[in-house]
Structure 1
Amino acid sequence: MNILMLTSEFAPATGGIGTYAREIAFAASQLGARVTVIAPDYAADSTAEDRALPFRLVRFHGGLHSMKNLPAKILLAHSKVRIEDFDIIHAADWPFFIPLALARHRTQARLLMTVHGTEINETQTPLKRAAIRAAGVFGPRTEVAANSRFTRELFRERFAIDEERVNAIPLGVSEFWFKPRGRRKDVRKAYGIDQDKIVMVTVARLTRRKGHHLTLAALERLPRELRQRITWLVIGPKGESDYVAEMREMVEKSDCEIHLLGSLTNEQIRDIYGASDFFCLTGVPDPSGRVEGFGLVYLEAGAGGLPSVATAIGGVPDAVLADETGLLVEPNVEAVAQAIVEMVDDSDTRSILAAGASSHARALSWERCAAETYGLSRPEDRIAAVIESLNASRAQPVMPIGH
């Protein structure tokens, strides 16, 4: 199978779409597909890193998307779709939806577009909707992959498209997060954490919709003796400046033990997962229209052996299975506080949910995601098919000789 992917985000830029594009391209290559990725260069030379990838990466001049880049992307898609005989052409994010639709007459390949959540609301302005209609973006040849059941239903509410052409395909988690971590005792010592503390960790950009303020309010609602048993590690880059300032002030006034660690490498985060007891990310509804389309970080924490306390918003219920991989609650202070109490007080609950979280993360691999997205077969699928065929043949009745 020959696949062309068009994406407006890729490494070295960080973010969910860049992770998706890289991981699904990598997984498809491992499954035997020939993959070409077209991605921005961010005005940097990444030739050495790009050559080490198991797929072909072609960079175009550009950075993070803005609408003024659309004409250039239209020309780019128009020139790239016919460079080879592709079986699938995949627009990995919405900035390439219109460019791919306008180039569809130049190829007989399957046309695939992935929706991640927030962009569905962002494309509801009259101008963008008119452009989408005029380009025939979601015409009869277009297939849509949504990253969760929530995203699929949100998309179907906003756009008229046949149900069978919209599939919910949950994201995957990289094998990286399952790899060995630093010794729990050593990692805690490095970050100045007492060995007897219950460590709760959050990994998310410090922005209002991620709900750090809700988690803090829930912690402060707990009895003082229980609060003092908890250390909260907050990892992630800064978001809105006013919210960051507000959170810092709240942390300074709180008597909870909170470490604002800022941005860390994935290796450092993986070590911290091994030194922690549970993950907590309590996102809240965002009136601006931004949504949590899935919640990949919950899977990464699960791969690190951590159950989650999470709020049931957006696509999070696909990433955190209620009472199987974590505690899924409504986004209010009382519910989050009760979930934290249960995690802290009941080590058996933590252990059971941790096992479920690890199993769920293992099941949602990127190879599974790539196979479902592109129609590729995995080795385990082929083995299962052979076993099923053998069992079917053995079940056939044996005809007596002479008949």
Structure 2
Amino acid sequence: MNLLLLTSEFAPAKGGIGTYAREIAVAATELGAKVTLVAPDYGEDRSVEDRALPFEIRRFHGALHSMRDLPSKIALARSQVRSGSFDLVHAVDWPFFIPLALARSLTPARILMTVHGTEINETQTPLKRLAIRMTGVFGPRTVIAANSRYTRELFRRRFAVDTQRIHTIPLGVSGFWFGNRATRDATRSAYGVGADRILMVTVARLTRRKGHLLTVSALRALPEELRKRLTWLLVGPEGEADYVAELRNEAAKTDCDVRFLGTLANEQIRDVYGASDFFCLTGLPESSGRVEGFGLVYLEAGAAGLPSVATEIGGVPDAVIGGRSGLLVAPSAEKIAQAITTLATDSAARSTLAAGALAHARHLSWRRCAAETYGLGQFTMENLSGALVQASPRQRPVNAVEPAYPA
């Protein structure tokens, strides 16, 4: 199969879409497809790094997307689809939806567009909806892949597209996160965390919608004895300055051992996972339209055998299987405190959920994602036939280095 992928985000920029593009391209290549990926150059010569990739990458002059870039992306999409005989052309993210729709007549290939969550709401302005309708974005030969059941339902509600053409294909977690890490004792010693401490870790940008302040409130509701035994490591770059200041101030008022580690390399994060007892990320619903489309960071932690405390928002229930790979709760301090207490004090429950988290991460590999998305491997072209394979959520107990800091 000859695949053409168009993405507006890619290395060296950090972000989930760039990771998705890279990893699904690598996995499709491993499954026997010929892959050509088109990505921005961010004003730099990336040829040395690009030659190390197992697929062809074509860079265009550009950076992070702006609507001013739409005319150049339209011309780019037209030139790229005419550059080869492709079986399937994949718009990895929203900025290439309209350009690819306008190039559809130039190729007999199947058209695939992936929706990730937030952009579904961002395309609801009158001007964007008019552009989508006038260009026939979701027209003939076009299939939509959604990264979670939540994203699929959100897209279905926002656009009048035949539901048979909208398919849930959960993302994957890189084999990197299953790789060798420092021993638990060595990492704890390096961070000055005693062997008897309960170690909870959060990896996410310090921003409102990630819910760190909600976790702080939950810590205050813990029994005093548990608070004094718990160490919480927060890994991730800082977001809004006022929010970070408030978070640090409120964390200092608790009698928990709360540490802000800032940005760490993925290798360091992998070591921290191996030294921790469980993962906690309590995101919040947002009125701004931003959504948590999936939640790859939960799977990265799961690859280290860490069960999660997670809030049941957006697509998180596909990344954390409640009662199997972690505890899914409502976004309230009381419920989060109860879940933290369970994982901190019930070693049997923690062990069971840890095994489930590891199994879930192993199951949702990038090869599985590429196979379902493109009809590769055990999936045949007949399976694709204008519609993508949809996995049963109960059979999905979720593998490239996913960015450690989801935006």
Q: TM-score, normalised by structure 1?
A: 0.93
Q: Using the TM superposition, give the Cα deviation of residue 378 of structure 1 relative to its aligned residue in structure 2, in angstroms.
A: 4.3
Measured in 2, the distance between the counterparts of 1:322 and 1:172 equals 18
Matched, 1:98 2:98: yes
In structure 2, the partner of 1:270 is 270
Q: Using the TM superposition, give the Cα deviation of residue 251 of structure 1 relative to its aligned residue in structure 2, in angstroms.
A: 2.0
Name the SS for the 1:103 alignment partner. Answer: helix
Name the SS for the 1:39 alignment partner. Answer: strand
**Residue 370 of structure 2 contacts residue 376 of structure 2 at CA under 8 Å; is this kept in 1?**
yes
**Residue 367 of structure 1 contacts residue 378 of structure 1 at CA under 8 Å; is this kept in 2?**
no
Measured in 1, the distance between the counterparts of 2:46 and 2:198 equals 41
In structure 2, the partner of 1:222 is 222
CA deviations 1:31-88 (Å, max 9, x no partner) are: 0000000001111222111100000011111111111111111111011111000000
CA deviations 1:202-238 (Å, max 9, x no partner) are: 0111110110011111011112111011100101111
In structure 1, the partner of 2:402 is none
Name the SS for the 1:283 alignment partner. Answer: coil
Aligned alpha-carbon RMSD (Å): 1.0
Q: Which amino acid aligns with 2:98?
A: I
**Residue 293 of structure 2 contacts residue 316 of structure 2 at CA under 8 Å; is this kept in 1?**
yes
> 5+ unaligned residues in a row in structure 2: which ranges?
380-407
1:93-172 → structure 2 map (5 Å cutoff): 93-172=93-172
Measured in 2, the distance between the counterparts of 1:356 and 1:216 equals 27
Q: Which has the larger radius of gyration?
A: 1
**Residue 31 of structure 1 contacts residue 378 of structure 1 at CA under 8 Å; is this kept in 2?**
no
Q: Which amino acid aligns with 2:85?
A: D
Measured in 1, the distance between the counterparts of 2:71 and 2:207 equals 32
Q: Which amino acid aligns with 1:208?
A: R
Measured in 1, the distance between the counterparts of 2:378 and 2:351 equals 31
Name the SS for the 2:290 alignment partner. Answer: coil
In structure 2, the partner of 1:44 is 44
**Residue 229 of structure 2 contacts residue 256 of structure 2 at CA under 8 Å; is this kept in 1?**
no
Measured in 1, the distance between the counterparts of 2:165 and 2:367 equals 21
In structure 1, the partner of 2:186 is 186
Measured in 2, the distance between the counterparts of 1:359 and 1:316 equals 17
Measured in 2, the distance between the counterparts of 1:314 and 1:360 equals 18
Measured in 1, the distance between the counterparts of 2:378 and 2:14 equals 28
Name the SS for the 1:12 alignment partner. Answer: coil
Matched, 1:20 2:17: no
In structure 1, the partner of 2:84 is 84
CA deviations 1:298-339 (Å, max 9, x no partner) are: 111100110000000000001100100000000011000000
Identity across the alignment (%)? 69
CA deviations 1:352-389 (Å, max 9, x no partner) are: 0000000011010000000000000149xxxxxxxxxx
Name the SS for the 2:13 alignment partner. Answer: coil
Q: Using the TM superposition, give the Cα deviation of residue 289 of structure 1 relative to its aligned residue in structure 2, in angstroms.
A: 0.7
Name the SS for the 1:259 alignment partner. Answer: strand
**Residue 73 of structure 2 contacts residue 99 of structure 2 at CA under 8 Å; is this kept in 1?**
yes
CA deviations 1:232-261 (Å, max 9, x no partner) are: 010111112221121122223332111111
**Residue 307 of structure 1 contacts residue 350 of structure 1 at CA under 8 Å; is this kept in 2?**
yes
Measured in 2, the distance between the counterparts of 1:106 and 1:22 equals 26
Measured in 2, the distance between the counterparts of 1:66 and 1:272 equals 37
Measured in 2, the distance between the counterparts of 1:201 and 1:242 equals 23
> 5+ unaligned residues in a row in structure 1: which ranges?
380-403
Measured in 1, the distance between the counterparts of 2:264 and 2:64 equals 22
Name the SS for the 2:90 alignment partner. Answer: strand
In structure 1, the partner of 2:255 is 255
Q: Which amino acid aligns with 1:353?
A: L
Name the SS for the 2:259 alignment partner. Answer: strand
Measured in 1, the distance between the counterparts of 2:188 and 2:55 equals 39
Name the SS for the 1:37 alignment partner. Answer: strand
Name the SS for the 1:244 alignment partner. Answer: helix
- The worse-fitting range, judged by mean Cα deviation, of 183-192 and 319-328 is 183-192
Q: Which amino acid aligns with 1:39?
A: A
Residues 282/252 of structure 1: CA separation in 2 closer, same or farther (3 Å cut): same
Q: TM-score, normalised by structure 2?
A: 0.92
1:3-402 → structure 2 map (5 Å cutoff): 3-378=3-378
Measured in 2, the distance between the counterparts of 1:194 and 1:30 equals 43
CA deviations 1:249-296 (Å, max 9, x no partner) are: 222333211111111111111000000000000001011010000111
Q: Using the TM superposition, give the Cα deviation of residue 196 of structure 1 relative to its aligned residue in structure 2, in angstroms.
A: 1.0
Q: Which amino acid aligns with 1:350?
A: R
Measured in 2, the distance between the counterparts of 1:41 and 1:254 equals 46
Name the SS for the 1:237 alignment partner. Answer: coil
In structure 1, the partner of 2:388 is none
Q: Which amino acid aligns with 2:186?
A: D
Q: Which amino acid aligns with 2:243?
A: Y
Measured in 1, the distance between the counterparts of 2:69 and 2:12 equals 19
Q: Which amino acid aligns with 1:280?
A: C
Name the SS for the 2:361 alignment partner. Answer: helix
**Residue 278 of structure 2 contacts residue 306 of structure 2 at CA under 8 Å; is this kept in 1?**
yes
Measured in 2, the distance between the counterparts of 1:96 and 1:244 equals 34
Aligned residues: 379
Measured in 2, the distance between the counterparts of 1:125 and 1:144 equals 20
Measured in 2, the distance between the counterparts of 1:79 and 1:238 equals 40
Measured in 2, the distance between the counterparts of 1:136 and 1:117 equals 20
